[in-house]
Amino acid sequence: MANLKSSQKDIRRIKRRTERNRVITTRLKTLRKKVLAAQQGAEGEAATEAGRVYVSALDKAAKTGIIHRNKANREKAKLAKIAKAATSTEVTA
């Protein structure tokens, strides 16, 4: 247990921030699963909308420092690659 008053305040602050960050990272994981499920189900409109929401959430999380901006860019590139592969198989099929 911290002895200094400022250290005790830091502990309370860290606890609040950790909880907030956990909520956001969990939401990102859920959105990623929804995007992948929509693309596997070959639902074009739903996949596009889910992708748009996921990219927006990634950008917001990167802007606030919850995830690193390179991680956000990597996830968006991965999403674009999957989306491109899905549309190319639809066109050829």
| Ranges of each domain in the chain | 5-92
Please state, in angstroms and rounded to a whole number, the distance separating the CA atoms of residues 25 and 65. 11
Residue type, 35: V
Per-residue tokens: 50: 């889910």
**CATH annotation of 5-92:** 1.20.58.110
pLDDT value at position 46? 84
Please state, in angstroms and rounded to a whole number, the distance separating the CA atoms of residues 23 and 64. 14
Cβ atoms of 47 and 35 closer than 8 Å? yes
Q: Which pTM value belongs to this model? A: 0.81
* Low-confidence stretches of the chain (pLDDT beneath 70): 89-93
Exposure of 68 in the CB half-sphere (CA atoms within 13 A): 3
